[in-house]
Amino acid sequence: MLVVLVAVAALLVVRPGPVAGWFGEAPITPTPPAAAPEPPPGPVLAAFADPRAPTPAGIRAAIDTLVTGAGLGGRLSVSVADVVTGQSLYSRGPDAQAVPASTTKLVTAVAALTARGPVHRIPTRVVAGEQPGEVVLIGGGDPTLALTGTGTYPGAARLDTLAAQVKKALGGAVPTSVVVDASLFSGPVFGPGWDADIATGGFAGPVTALMTNGGRVDPKELAPAERFSAPDVAAGQAFARALGQSSSASKAVRRGKAPAGTAPVDAPAPSTGVDGQSPTGAGTSPTASGAATTPPAPGTELGRVWSPPMARLVEIMLSESDNIVAESLARQVALARGAPASFQGAAAAVDELLAEIGLPAGESALADGSGLSRTNRLSPSILTDLLAYAAANDRPQLGPVFSGLPVAGWSGTLTDRFQAKSGTGKAGMGVVRAKTGTLSGVDAMSGVVVTADGRTLAFALLADGVTAGHWEAQAALDAIAARLARCGC
C-alpha cells in the first residue's frame, strides 16, 4: 500500500500545468516556434498570362483569306480588337475612312447615352395658345409618340393620354383649334447625301420634332413603310380628333409657335406613370367638379407625356436600324450641348463628343445620325475603339449599346443572317452581336463576338466598293464574323 502512494505522489509532482501549481510551482508554458518571415508579394498581374488571349498571328491565320476573298470589292477595311485589353489584333486599312452606312448608329448610340444619360425621357407638351380656345401641341423630338396603345413602339407615350390631360385641365371643354409647334428642330427635313429615293422608299421620312410612330401612316408597318409628308401636321390632326374636334375642324390644324415666355420643352422628366403620363395633373386650378376656375393664360401647361427612357430608345434604334429614331437621338446630342438641332448641328455635336471622350477626331466625319448619308465617313478602328470604350466596367450607362445590338440568327436585322446553306456562317449564330449597314454598293457590319475560347472581340468590317450582289457581300461578312467565333486564336 505504501508503494502505491509513493507512485501516485511521484506522478503528481512531475505533471505540468495547473496541478503543478498546487505544489507552489509556476505553470510550464510551452514556447511557440518562431514564425517564418512572410515573403514579399510578387507581381501578380505582371505574371498573369491568360491562355485564352488571342494573338495577332492567330487572328490573321483565321480570317486573312476570307478578308481578301471575292465579293467585297477592293475597298474593304477591317479592324479587330480585344475588348478586354483594347489591343489591336487585325487591321486592314484601319484608319482609312469609309462610308459606314448604318454602323453609324453605333456612334449615335454612344453619343446619345453619354450626352443625355440612359434614363432621360423626351417630353411632348400642350400649352394654352394666344387665342381663347386655342391649344399648342409642342414636339420635343420624341419619334416614338403613339396615337393610342397600339403604336409602332412598345411603351411609347400616347396622344390619347395627352388629350385626356388637356380636357381635364380645361374642365371638359373642347379646344376650338390646335397649333403644332415643331420648331425645336431646324434646317432641312431630309439629310445631306441621302439617296433620292429615301423620301419615298419607306425606310425614312421627314425628320421633325413632332411626329407619331416614326412618321408612319400605318403604325403596324415597320420598314419599308409609307410616311407622312408632313408628320407634325398629321400628329396635330390626330390630336385634335382625340380632343373631340370634328374631322373638318381637325383638318384646320396649323403650324405655329407656343406663346412667348412658355417654359422650354427640354426640361428634366419627373417620375412618370403609365404610358409616360405625369403622375400629377397639369393646367389651371380645377374646381371640385374638375372645371377650370379661370381660362388658362397663354403658355400655361395643360398636359405632358414622356417618351421611353433613352436606354430603350437606343435599343430600338440599333435592333431594327430605325433611321428616324437615329436622327432624333442625334439631335438630342445637339440639344444637350446647346447646338442647333439640325442635321449639321447634330453631326458636329456627335463628332465633338467623340473627340472629348478620347477617340481620334480625324477618323470621324459625319453628316447625319442614321448612316443614310453617303458623305458620312468613319474608320473601322474608331468603331472598335468605340465598342471597347462602351464595354468598360466603369461605364454601365453605355450597356444599351450591347443589349440593343441584333443577335446573329435570332433578332433584329440579323434575324435571317448567318444561316447560309453552306454553313460558313452558322458558327456565329447566337454569339455575334452586330450592327449592320447597307446602301447600294456598301455593306458593313460592326459589333462584338465571343470566340471559342470565351474571349470577346470587337470587329468592324466596312466595304464601300462592293461590286458583287448584295446577298453575296452579306454572306462574305457573315463568314468573317463566324470565323472569329470559331477562333481558338
C-alpha cell at 313: 430608345
C-alpha 173/C-alpha 292 separation (Å) is 9
Comparing C-alpha atoms, which of 372, 394, 359, 390 is closest to residue 444?
Answer: 372
C-alpha 21/C-alpha 23 separation (Å) is 5
105 a catalytic residue: yes
Instruction: List CB contacts of 65: < 8 A, sequence separation 6 or more.
Output: none
| Torsion sign over Cα 43, 47, 53, 57 | positive
Q: Which of 77, 79, 91, 105 is catalytic?
A: 105
Q: Which of 91, 102, 370, 379 is catalytic?
A: 102
C-alpha 471/C-alpha 71 separation (Å) is 9
Per DSSP, the residues of 385-424 read HHHHHHT-TT-GGGTHHHHTS-BTTTSGGGTT-S--TT-S
Helix ranges (H only) for 103-158 are 104-116
Residue 94 preceded by cis peptide, ω within 30 = no
C-alpha cell at 16: 505540468
Q: What are phi and psi of 59, to 5 degrees?
A: -65, -40
C-alpha cell at 348: 458636329
The helix (run of H) or strand (run of E) holding residue 169 is: helix 159-169
Residue 306 forms beta bridges with which residues? 123
Comparing C-alpha atoms, which of 324, 309, 314, 308 is closest to residue 435?
Answer: 314
Burial of 393 (0-12, 13-18, 19+ CB in 10 A): exposed
Q: Are 217 and 228 in contact (CB under 8 A)?
A: yes
Q: Which of 177, 278, 321, 446 is catalytic?
A: 321
Burial of 376 (0-12, 13-18, 19+ CB in 10 A): buried
C-alpha cell at 317: 434604334
167 a catalytic residue: no
Return the amino acid letter for 174.
V
SS3 label, residue 298: coil
Contacts from 410-414 at CB under 8 Å and sequence distance 24+? 411/319, 412/318, 412/319, 412/320, 412/321, 413/319, 413/320, 413/321
> Which residues are catalytically annotated?
102, 105, 321
